[in-house]
């Protein structure tokens, strides 16, 4: 019998990891920047992250999703991590959190 997992607590742990990953062009983490559209966690401890980049031509298009996958996968409770990139909807500055807007001087 597998141990029952608290998917909400694991989701919060994943968000904390995502807040430690920064877009190299902007001094704000990818979560506050609004690049993470969704984090799915199931009872089997599989994680799927739906994210985007600031633009399809972003210089970190290869590296950033790989960094997200590796850092989330390093959480002990996570079994499998899939990172899916999407450009629908395209990212825009309105997707940033208040924290990010303040940090970047938009407020």
Transcribe 24-69 into DSSP letters.
Answer: TTSSSBTTTTT-EEEEEE-TT-EEEEEE--SSTT-TTTTHHHHHHH
Cα 5 from chain centroid (whole Å): 21
Q: What is the pLDDT of residue 61?
A: 83
Alpha-carbon span 19 to 102, nearest angstrom = 16
Task: Note down pLDDT in tens along the chain; length 107 residues.
Answer: 456 778 899 999 999 999 999 988 888 999 999 999 999 999 999 999 999 998 888 887 889 999 999 999 999 999 999 999 999 999 999 999 999 999 999 88
Domain boundaries defined on the chain? 7-92
Q: Please state which of the four CATH numbers 3.40.50.150, 3.30.300.130, 3.40.470.10, 3.40.50.300 is assigned to the domain occupying 7-92.
A: 3.30.300.130
């Amino acid at each position: 019998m597998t141990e029952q997992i608290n998917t909400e607590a694991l989701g919060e742990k994943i968000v904390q990891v995502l807040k430690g990953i920064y877009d190299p062009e902007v001094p704000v983490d990818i979560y506050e920047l609004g690049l993470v559209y969704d984090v799915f966690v199931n009872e089997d401890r599989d994680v799927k992250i739906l994210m985007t980049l600031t633009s399809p031509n972003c210089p970190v298009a290869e590296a950033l999703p790989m960094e997200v996958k590796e850092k989330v996968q390093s959480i002990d409770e996570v079994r499998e991590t899939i990172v899916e990139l999407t450009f629908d909807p395209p990212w825009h500055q309105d997707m940033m959190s208040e924290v990010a807007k303040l940090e970047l001087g938009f407020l």
